[in-house]
Amino acid sequence: MIEELSKSIPFLKELLQNESIIIAGTAVTVLVLWGLMKINKVLKDHLDVNVFRNMVNFFFNRDSSKKYEKLREDFYKGSTTPEFVDWQKEVLKEIYSEYPLLNLFGKEYPTLTQEARESFSYPIHKAFKGFSKLNNIKIPEFIIDQKQAEYIKMMGSTVKRPNMIGFSLDEFELDAEGKIAGFSAKVCQYKHNIATSHILDYELYKVYQKKKIQLEQAEDKLSLLLNRNKIHKGKTQTDVIMTGCNRHSLLSVQMMVIFFDEKIQDYKVLLVKRSEDVAIKPNYWQLIPAGGFEIFETDKTTASLIIRRNFNVEHALYRELLEEAFNGEDYECKKSSDGIQLIENHPDIIQLTDWLNKGEAHLHFLGNVLDLVSLRSELSFLLVVDNPSFSEKIFKHNHESQDLQTIQVNELPEMLEDELLYPSSAGLLHLAMKSELFKERNLLQTTPKVEREEVGV
């Protein structure tokens, strides 16, 4: 071995003496690295894609689950700070300058409300047959790009059923007064909604972290918000708000449930605090039930008849009520029973429909609430239960919530003064306050001034 090494030394000496080869090789290497760094910077600035980091992860087969979990935790923590919430609201106020933000109890919310031309009452599904239309039941062809795929990975276990079919907004129809006269929908999968709507919240958070001042100074705010800019491309503010253009925004349903408590001779409301096991806005207080307008089937369902049969907003509301207020695990996804039969034959739903038929409960459609952060629309309803037996039920939240409270409706301003309220819930509450059902019961018709008692004084 020593003899072989000694033989090679003259060769090495000769190579080292050839300085031109070394200089040329070094120059080429530097130029290649410089070029790759420039390309990586452009991709990172404009697409938030770090090629070098991805290459390292690929070649060294790093387990990235902990990394994504950490990113999600940081996002959840950072996106609920008062500083970010206020900044986000101001940015959206500029982008959607043609529409005033919702003001509720002295606070602004990045939300728009649209009243229904007609306040449909129970049975809602029959009334909706002439009001809503399912235009397309074909799952759209959609290629998720790298940035969207990274976001879905970051959300990890919070995305339970990415392939589940749901109904996304096609278009709202307005009358001369700007009230909703009808709407049309189409089909999408939940992962499409994650990749085109939920990601918009994270995009704002990332810009806040890295380009806050740059965005504040930019005349065109959308130029730094690439995903939102794709949605707005070639569209007016009204197009983006009134249609599902350039995205797959899953429609949601939400219902404010208030009920008469004989013990206090007043009405209470169901309210939960969202857990961190949700795909968007954890730690916010929310009126329940609320959730995506999805089919109650398996994610393998493709039959047109079954999909159309699930285009039933009343069933969606009842399902969410059972899932979120009665910890109905069987209602999170279909397992073995017929989904619709499972809903209609539940004892609590049978009892509720009996009260509705007797006039001891009232279910009204109020209108639509649009969350400007995610650009998702929520069909909004109000359920008032006058029969005092409802107040005797044991309410239990599911894994999507960390706390459930029943409080007096007229105490909501005090309850929410220093708390984060889910923007769509703020819109729902605003619509409910304008309803005849609230006016007849004198609920929140004058906003009480919140007074605080100082402890120890």
The torsion angles phi and psi of 414, rounded to 5 degrees, stand at: -70, -40
Rg (CA), the chain: 27
Give φ, ψ of 4 to 5 degrees.
Answer: -65, -40
> What average pLDDT does this structure show over 41-50?
63
Among 207-216, 248-257, 297-306, 334-343, which stretch is predicted with the lowest mean pLDDT? 334-343
Cβ proximity of 113 and 430 under 8 Å: yes
**What DSSP character marks residue 123?**
S
* pLDDT given at position 454: 35
Q: Catalogue the E-assigned strands of 284-437.
A: 285-287, 290-292, 361-371, 376-385, 401-408
- pLDDT confidence band for 2 (50 / 70 / 90): very low
The answer to whether residue 370 scores a pLDDT higher than 80 is yes
Q: Which helix (H) or strand (E) holds 44?
A: helix 19-47
Local confidence band at 440 (pLDDT 50, 70, 90 cut-offs) = very high
pLDDT tens-digit map of 135-177: 989 999 888 899 999 999 999 878 888 999 999 999 999 999 9
Let me know: does 373 contact 202? Beta carbons within 8 Å: no
- pLDDT per residue over 303-361, tens digit each? 999 999 999 999 999 999 999 998 776 566 666 567 788 888 999 999 999 999 999 99
Nearest to 291 by CA among 332, 258, 248: 332
One-letter amino acid for residue 214 of the chain: Q
Give the residue, 2 or 194, on which the prediction is more confident: 194
Question: Which residue in the block uniquely carries the two structure tokens 């900044």?
Answer: 87
Could you list the beta-strand ranges (E) of 164-298.
165-174, 180-189, 252-261, 266-274, 285-287, 290-292
pLDDT on residue 457: 28
User: How far apart (Å, rounded) are the C-alpha atoms in residues 144 and 148?
Assistant: 6
Listed residue (262, 253, 335, 326) closest to 300, CA to CA: 335
Instruction: Kindly state the tokens that stand for 256.
Output: 């404010």
Task: Lowest mean pLDDT of 10-19, 80-89, 432-441, name the range.
Answer: 10-19
**Torsion 364-367-370-375 (CA) sign:** positive
pLDDT, position 208: 96
- When pLDDT is cut at 50, 70 and 90, the band that residue 36 belongs to is confident
Q: With H, G, I as helix, E, B as strand and everything else as coil, classify residue 377.
A: strand
pLDDT at 5: 46
Give the HSE-up count for residue 197: Cα atoms under 13 Å, Cβ half-sphere: 30
Q: Please report, rounded to a whole number, the percentage of residues in the chain having pLDDT higher than 70.
A: 84
3-state SS, one letter per residue, for 315-336: HHHHHHHHHHHECCHHHCCCCC
Which of the four pLDDT bands, split at 50, 70 and 90, describes residue 25?
Answer: low
Q: Which residues, in sequence order, are CB contacts of 9 under 8 Å at separation 6+?
A: none
Token pair belonging to 156 = 């990890």
Confidence at residue 238, expressed as pLDDT on a 0 to 100 scale: 97
pLDDT tens digits for range 46-88: 555 566 666 655 554 455 778 898 999 999 999 999 999 999 9
* Helix (H/G/I), strand (E/B), else coil: 197: helix
Give the chain's domains with CATH numbers: 2-62 (no CATH), 69-440 (3.90.79.10)
Check: CB of residue 352 under 8 Å from CB of residue 361: yes
Nearest C-alpha neighbor of 83 from the set 204, 226, 221, 228: 204
Taking residue 135's Cβ as centre, other Cβ atoms within 10 Å add up to 10
Write out the E strands in 40-179.
102-104, 107-109, 111-115, 132-136, 165-174
10 Å CB burial of residue 61 (0-12, 13-18, 19+) is: exposed
> How many C-beta atoms lie closer than 10 Å to residue 425's C-beta?
26
pLDDT value of residue 443:
97
Asked whether the predicted pLDDT for residue 450 surpasses 70, the reply is no
Q: Which residue has the tokens 């769509």?
A: 424
Averaged pLDDT score across all residues of the chain = 87
Residue 330 burial class via C-beta count within 10 angstroms: exposed 0-12, middle 13-18, buried 19 and up: middle
**pLDDT value of position 45:** 63
Asked if residue 207 has pLDDT above 50, the reply is yes
The closest of 338, 344, 272 to 314, measured between CA atoms, is 344
CA pair distance 200, 326, nearest whole angstrom: 31
pLDDT tens for 396-430 read 888 888 899 999 999 999 999 999 999 999 999 99
Residues 292, 249: Cα–Cα separation, whole Å: 10
Helical residues (DSSP H) of 211-336, grouped into ranges: 212-217, 226-232, 237-242, 304-309, 313-325
